[in-house]
């Protein structure tokens, strides 16, 4: 008898699209039906998610993507993580009276990256025009879409603040002076007009690629950048510091930046090769944790048992501790990735996984990096406080925090996209007048302490939490695309999914349905950068016996309501061309579609 899953694992041969909102998934599938490839579908899906999940992503945000192009027969990374503006110096921010970069407002903004990333994907890998991929988003911005209950709740919680401090956001999100109700038809006509103008300026040019370039110019060197620049010259707004600040982003910053294509970072594990973004994100955490877990017999453990949860959590604590000391933009700092992923290093770290929960932050010491280790630990002792974590995640936390979305697409030719767009949340900064969207708050992931890989500096990428995944199976055959929103939890929820899938012969949907867990043991990436030593949050679905066993192992356990942790999606292509896809039932909005 087939085991019950909350939804079927979608099967087909033509194409599959899975994302964190059913409308976006349906749009992506419609692009495949019209003859577009996986890259076209991902772009159109991404722009629609900016409309239907505006509390989780927006045009002013950022994205990394891990992709496989059948034509190039190569796995690559698209980096659309914008760097800090030229005026973003430690001296300027500390002169503003800050010891931490606020989690919202204008000083938290880096160069918006997502639009250029989408256009790079469309130009170099797609087949459709700017108009074709933007028209679905324009439709929902202009004609409306059913507002998610969580969006309505977010706006309601911020209504008074918007009215007093961010009036442009009040005008956008409370257009009649009242919060739009859950499931009410909501429009953003100003954003629709922005995209229409981008299309008009693109179509002055002839030829698909020339039009894509013209669209990029319109955003980064044309009317969009000019409108942002004009607004930021005079805007001074309240942020999480409790004071009003002006931003430092300029049109010149935007004009001189573009998204890039990079090589992925990979690690081999039990027949799989996992491809992730580099140390400018937290992707290596996933790989480091695999390197530690390689020495444990996870296949022999119950995938929903206390031993499995304990072993995985303790390994993750060690990898995340290394993230705090060693990760950062490799264009600015030497990052010892090869050493961190070496078997010698993993073997030493593996010995630290004990029978009881650790309450200590234990980064390893890499030869030649001793001073960096000590400087970081001293700084964290002073600036990283213990306590409740301000974190963009799930229903058990505040409605006012931002988060992220995720998309996986595979087409019949075998092209694959795993992409995690984020930033530019409606609650991250005020709506820019005349554009219908707001800027991001990614700079909060920098420290204002000099000498670290994650110290604020002009032109440097913040160490993002965004981390899509692509798995290659035996023979390095591109097979699996997966990911989730969730800030610092992204690697944690993905890791649980992957380990269960790799070791326990579950289908995609069954692996996604299993109860999830995570820790906030390490310093958070989001303001105010707090940590909860020894913490473990687990869904009640584990059952009292497992939860009691985790308590006995010393974990500081918080039990979340059933079905409230994680927003995983995944897609797979088998060697015979059969396609599979799945999406989490949590929050009742992610959906997988395919045929």
For the stretch 1-19, pLDDT in tens is: 468 999 999 999 999 999 9
Sign of the dihedral defined by the CA atoms of residues 495, 346, 317, 525, in that order: negative
Q: Please, are residues 274 and 300 in contact by the beta-carbon 8 Å criterion? A: no
The whole-number pLDDT of residue 60 equals 98
Average pLDDT over residues 403-412: 95
In the structure encoding, which two tokens stand for residue 517, read together? 């867990």
Q: What angle do CA 103, 108, 110 make, to 5 degrees?
A: 140
The whole-number pLDDT of residue 389 equals 42
The whole-number pLDDT of residue 395 equals 34
Angstrom distance (rounded) from CA 305 to CA 386: 28
pLDDT tens-digit map of 516-575:
999 999 999 999 999 999 999 999 999 999 999 999 999 999 999 999 999 999 999 999
The whole-number pLDDT of residue 475 equals 83
The whole-number pLDDT of residue 392 equals 43
Give one DSSP letter per residue of 59-86, joined into a string: TB-BEEEEEEETTTTEEEEEEE-----T
Does position 512 have pLDDT exceeding 90, yes or no? Answer: yes
Q: What angle do CA 482, 81, 424 make, to 5 degrees?
A: 90
- b/e string for 518-549 if b means 16 or more Cβ within 10 A? bbbbbbbbbbbbbbbbbbbbbbebbeeebbeb
Angstrom distance (rounded) from CA 222 to CA 216: 9
Q: What average pLDDT is seen over the chain?
A: 95
Q: In the structure, what pLDDT confidence band is assigned to residue 387 with cuts at 50, 70 and 90? A: low
Q: Is 290 exposed, middle or buried (0-12, 13-18, 19+ CB in 10 A)?
A: buried
Q: Please, are residues 192 and 456 in contact by the beta-carbon 8 Å criterion? A: no
Q: Please, are residues 282 and 275 in contact by the beta-carbon 8 Å criterion? A: no
In the structure encoding, which two tokens stand for residue 354, read together? 């004990």
pLDDT tens-digit map of 215-225:
999 999 999 99
Q: In the structure, what pLDDT confidence band is assigned to residue 386 with cuts at 50, 70 and 90? A: low
Q: Would the pTM count as exceeding 0.85?
A: yes
Average pLDDT over residues 400-405: 73
Q: Over pLDDT 90: what percentage of the chain?
A: 95
Considering only the C-alpha atoms of the chain, give the largest distance between any 2 of them, rounded to a whole number of Å: 68
Does position 398 have pLDDT exceeding 50, yes or no? Answer: no
Q: Please, are residues 274 and 75 in contact by the beta-carbon 8 Å criterion? A: no
Residue 445's nearest CA partner among 281, 555, 331, 577 is 281
Angstrom distance (rounded) from CA 211 to CA 130: 7
């Amino acid at each position: 008898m087939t085991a019950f899953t909350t939804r079927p694992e979608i099967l087909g041969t033509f194409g599959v699209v899975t994302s964190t909102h059913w409308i976006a998934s349906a749009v992506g599938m419609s692009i495949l039906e019209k003859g577009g490839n996986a890259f076209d579908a991902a772009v159109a899906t991404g722009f629609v998610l900016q409309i239907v999940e505006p509390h989780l992503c927006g045009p002013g945000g950022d994205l990394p993507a891990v992709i496989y192009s059948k034509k190039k027969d190569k796995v690559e990374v698209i980096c659309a993580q914008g760097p800090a503006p030229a005026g973003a110096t430690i001296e300027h921010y500390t002169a503003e009276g800050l010891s931490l970069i606020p989690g919202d407002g204008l000083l938290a903004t880096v160069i918006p990256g997502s639009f250029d990333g989408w256009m790079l994907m469309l130009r170099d890998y797609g087949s459709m025009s700017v108009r074709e991929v933007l028209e679905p988003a324009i439709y929902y911005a202009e004609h409306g879409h059913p507002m998610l209950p969580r969006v309505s709740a977010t706006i309601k919680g911020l209504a008074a603040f918007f009215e007093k401090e961010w009036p442009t956001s009040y005008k956008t999100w409370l257009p009649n002076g009242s919060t739009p109700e859950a499931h009410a038809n909501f429009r953003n006509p100003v954003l629709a007009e922005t995209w229409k103008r981008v299309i008009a300026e693109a179509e002055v040019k002839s030829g698909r690629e020339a039009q894509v370039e013209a669209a990029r110019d319109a955003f980064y060197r044309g009317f969009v950048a000019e409108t942002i620049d004009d607004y930021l010259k005079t805007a001074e707004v309240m942020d999480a510091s409790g004071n009003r600040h002006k931003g430092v982003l300029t049109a010149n910053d935007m004009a001189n930046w573009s998204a890039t294509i990079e090589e992925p970072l990979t690690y081999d594990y039990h027949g799989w090769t996992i491809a992730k973004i580099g140390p400018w994100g937290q992707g290596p955490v996933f790989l480091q944790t695999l390197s530690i877990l390689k020495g444990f017999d996870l296949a022999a453990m119950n995938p929903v048992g206390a031993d499995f949860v304990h072993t995985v959590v303790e390994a993750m604590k060690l990898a995340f501790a290394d993230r705090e000391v060693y990760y950062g933009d490799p264009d600015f700092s030497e990052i010892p990735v090869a050493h961190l992923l070496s078997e010698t290093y993993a073997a030493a770290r593996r010995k630290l996984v004990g029978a009881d929960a650790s309450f200590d932050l234990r980064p390893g010491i890499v030869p030649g990096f001793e001073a960096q280790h000590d400087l970081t630990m001293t700084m964290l002792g002073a600036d990283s406080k213990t306590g409740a974590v301000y974190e963009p995640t799930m229903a058990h936390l505040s409605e006012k925090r931002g988060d992220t979305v995720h998309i996986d697409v595979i087409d019949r030719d075998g092209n694959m996209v795993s992409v995690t767009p984020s930033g530019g949340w409606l609650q991250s900064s005020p709506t820019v007048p005349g554009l219908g969207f707001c800027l991001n708050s990614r700079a909060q992931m920098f420290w204002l302490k000099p000498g670290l890989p994650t110290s604020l500096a002009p032109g440097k990428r913040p160490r993002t939490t965004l981390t899509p995944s692509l798995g290659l199976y035996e023979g390095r055959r591109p097979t699996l695309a997966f990911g989730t929103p969730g800030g610092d939890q992204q690697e944690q929820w993905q890791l649980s999914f992957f380990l269960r899938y790799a070791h326990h012969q579950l289908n995609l949907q069954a692996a996604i349905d299993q109860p999830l867990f995570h820790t906030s043991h390490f310093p958070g990436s989001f303001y105010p950068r707090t940590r909860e030593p020894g913490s473990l949050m687990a869904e009640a679905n584990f059952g009292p016996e497992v939860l009691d066993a985790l308590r006995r192992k010393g974990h500081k356990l918080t039990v979340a309501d059933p079905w409230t942790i994680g927003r995983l999606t995944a897609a797979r292509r088998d060697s015979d061309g059969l396609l599979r896809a799945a999406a989490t039932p949590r929050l009742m909005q992610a959906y997988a579609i395919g045929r």
